[in-house]
Amino acid sequence: MTDLITARNLSVSFDGHEVVHDVSFSLRPGTCLGIVGESGSGKSVTARSLLGLNGPRAEVSASTLDVGVDVLTATEQELRALRGSRIGYVLQDALVSLDPLRKVGTEIAEPLRAHGVPRSQHPQRVQDLLTSVSVPEPELRSRQLPSELSGGLRQRALIAAALALDPEVLIADEPTTALDVTVQSQILELLEQNLAAGRALILISHDLSVVERLADHVLVMHHGRVVEEGPTSQVLTAPQDPYTRRLLAAIPSAGSRGERLSDLPPSPITLATRSEDAPPRDTTVPVLTADGLGKSYRGPDGRTRAVVEDVSFSLHPGETLGIVGESGSGKSTTAWMALALTEPTTGAVALDGEPWTGIPERRRRARRRRIAVVQQDPLSSFDPRWTVGRTIADALPSARRGGAEERTARVAELLRAVGLDPSFAARHPLTLSGGQRQRAAIARALATDPEVLVLDEPVSALDVSVQAQVLDLLADLQQALGTAYLFISHDLGVIHHVSDRVLVMQHGRIVESGTADEVLRTPRHPYTRQLVAALPRPELEEIA
């Protein structure tokens, strides 16, 4: 059989800056090629150059770039005829790739219209397509706006649009990023069906476990180069390149508990804030307890809706309690109630055995330094006008703030503790990478020397190797400082890696709790079983 796509020595540069360097691959009918890499590795640019979609500033060169026509010499018309009909492209991020003002059905019919399918056939075709991607009530859905659909349904709609002209090849760029694990599993299943039906697939993802499930052949990209390629099972079980090995080792899972994920050496941390004569923390008395927490809001229709119901837990010094659940499960609301930034409707939180909720804010204020938070998006959690140093200095307790010199020294110490050079104090958060920002956010949280750190999805916006470094840092800090962590995440692998005990939340309730191994290795509740089963990494679990 002939190859559907052949790329030889493909290079792409923008304004003289090369982002893809000498990449070669081919795609045979009915197979799946996985392209794995972290953000900025050039994987999306590689895929887009197959369709000539990189824009006028891109300089594309290759000895062969054949997708049925020669992309390098094809006219814009020829390329346009190709897109959709021969190669379907599923865009990244369903949330923003659909026009918010157009009905879903219109959006799916767009390629039909562009390729001259008679208008009378559109409604039927759209419904058939939606049915083929397992969208329930296709007739209703096609008349709705994207905002009325859930993330999973939107992603299905995008896939339906890509399939509209029955292309031989489907390119899916991060099709499951930002989706809940059970929804991700369903989308992968859908792609799998397409593959089984004989369609060829190029799957782009930062997540090795996603690629592992579908791909026959894998390219690992790093800084615009292919560092390793081969059959999936070989690359993932016997990686040759150090980068691939590092990437694989960086995936947190049950098997990685207690081990380091990154290849950075452990950083023994000492902070001057902890006075030497402070009594050792009593680890038998919980530092934070929640008793029957509930939160409900009155909806616009006047009915009250419970977001969290009857959540109880206790957190002991130096331990990590993981809360795992899908979006809308109430885990963030629970975290906000633990921080007393949201007042619970029912139940109460106690910090150090004293009431923490149900009291006026001014009585909490002095005690706030005992519990700190690291938010999901570090960028938006920094005052945009301030440098990193000022942000951290602002968090120092006023009693310890002292003179300017002392303050600078404290900021430098905190930055060093999180593995950043003290010179970062003068930088603006915008100029930092994602991992550096999250380190700075952790430094700020540590400024008050808290006993409890609430981490709300602290690594979900990070690449896997950066995530590994941040998780390692958090482990080091906990080791050194004995801080208790309330760790919120949707990622079971992360939760299993970091947590001593785990709460599983669904629809605002705790459905299962226990030690991490108990809950995640031998789940009892059907929902937990479903979550664990949806993890697309059975093989990786074994090699890890």
Partner 1 sequence: MTTLAPPAAPVAEPEAAPVPRPSRRAPAPGRIGLVAAGAVVGAVVLAALLPDLLAPQDPLEISLSESFAPPSAEHVFGTDQSGRDVFSRVIHGARQSLVIGIGATGIGLAGALVLGLLGGLGGRIADGAVTRVIEVLYAFPGILLALILIAVYGNSALTQMVAVGLATMPGYARMVRGQLLVVRGSAYVEAARALGHPPLRILVRTILPNAFRPLTVLVTLGVGQAIVWAAALGFLGMGVQPPTAEWGAMLNAGRTYIQQAWWMDFFPGITIVVFTLSLTVLGRRLQRATDAGALR
Write out the residues near partner 1 by the rule CB under 8 A.
Answer: 14-15, 17, 19, 39-40, 45, 54-58, 223, 264-270, 272, 276, 339, 341, 361-362, 364-369, 371-373, 375, 377, 379-385, 394-395, 413, 416-417, 419-421, 429-436, 439, 444, 448, 465-466, 469, 473, 476
How far, in Å, CA of 255 to CA of 516, rounded?
12
Q: Which is nearer to partner 1, 469 or 489 (CB)?
A: 469
Minimum CB distance to partner 1, residue 517 (Å): 29
Minimum CB distance to partner 1, residue 387 (Å): 12
Minimum CB distance to partner 1, residue 294 (Å): 21
How far, in Å, CA of 122 to CA of 422, rounded?
61
**Side chain identity at 531, as an amino acid letter?**
L
Q: Which is nearer to partner 1, 309 or 463 (CB)?
A: 463
Phi-psi category of 479—alpha, beta or left, where left has phi over 0 and alpha has psi -120 to 50?
A: alpha
Q: Which is nearer to partner 1, 17 or 119 (CB)?
A: 17
440: closest CA among 502, 497, 374?
374
Minimum CB distance to partner 1, residue 454 (Å): 8
| 174 φ/ψ angles, rounded to the nearest 5 degrees | 50, 55
Instruction: Give exposure, 246-271, as e/b (b: 16+ Cβ within 10 Å).
Output: bbbbbbbbbbbeeebbbeeeeeebeb
Distances (CA, A) of 256 to 2, 33, 252, 477: 42, 28, 6, 18
CA angle 435-365-510, nearest 5°?
65
Q: Which is nearer to partner 1, 30 or 422 (CB)?
A: 422
499: closest CA among 514, 511, 509, 512?
514
Minimum CB distance to partner 1, residue 48 (Å): 10
Minimum CB distance to partner 1, residue 227 (Å): 14
Q: Which is nearer to partner 1, 138 or 330 (CB)?
A: 330
Rg of the chain taking only CA atoms, in angstroms:
25
Minimum CB distance to partner 1, residue 246 (Å): 10
- The sign of the dihedral angle between the CA atoms of 520, 521, 525, 531 is positive
- The sign of the dihedral angle between the CA atoms of 69, 5, 164, 90 is negative
Strand runs (DSSP E) across 137-188, as ranges? 169-173
How far, in Å, CA of 109 to CA of 185, rounded?
26
How far, in Å, CA of 517 to CA of 435, rounded?
28
Give alpha helix (H) positions in 418-506: 434-446, 464-481, 492-498
How far, in Å, CA of 392 to CA of 444, rounded?
5
Minimum CB distance to partner 1, residue 125 (Å): 33
344: closest CA among 335, 370, 513?
335
Q: Which is nearer to partner 1, 487 or 527 (CB)?
A: 487
Q: Which is nearer to partner 1, 69 or 480 (CB)?
A: 480
Residue 76, classed as helix, strand or coil, is helix
CA angle 360-363-366, nearest 5°?
140
Q: Which is nearer to partner 1, 432 or 510 (CB)?
A: 432
Tell me which DSSP letter residue 429 carries: G
Q: Which is nearer to partner 1, 223 or 257 (CB)?
A: 223
| 87 φ/ψ angles, rounded to the nearest 5 degrees | -125, 120
Q: Which is nearer to partner 1, 164 or 249 (CB)?
A: 249
**Side chain identity at 163, as an amino acid letter?**
L
CB 501 within 8 A of CB 319: yes
Look at the chain and count its residues: 544
Minimum CB distance to partner 1, residue 74 (Å): 20
Q: Which is nearer to partner 1, 268 or 403 (CB)?
A: 268
Residue 382 tokens, joined: 């920094």
Helices (H) and strands (E) in the chain, counts: 22, 20
Q: Which is nearer to partner 1, 291 or 377 (CB)?
A: 377
The contacts of residue 416 (CB under 8 Å, 6+ apart) are 422
Minimum CB distance to partner 1, residue 295 (Å): 16
Minimum CB distance to partner 1, residue 117 (Å): 31
Minimum CB distance to partner 1, residue 466 (Å): 5
Q: Which is nearer to partner 1, 113 or 363 (CB)?
A: 363
Rounded to 10°, the helix 434-446/404-417 angle is: 120
Q: Which is nearer to partner 1, 387 or 513 (CB)?
A: 387
Minimum CB distance to partner 1, residue 367 (Å): 7
Minimum CB distance to partner 1, residue 369 (Å): 6
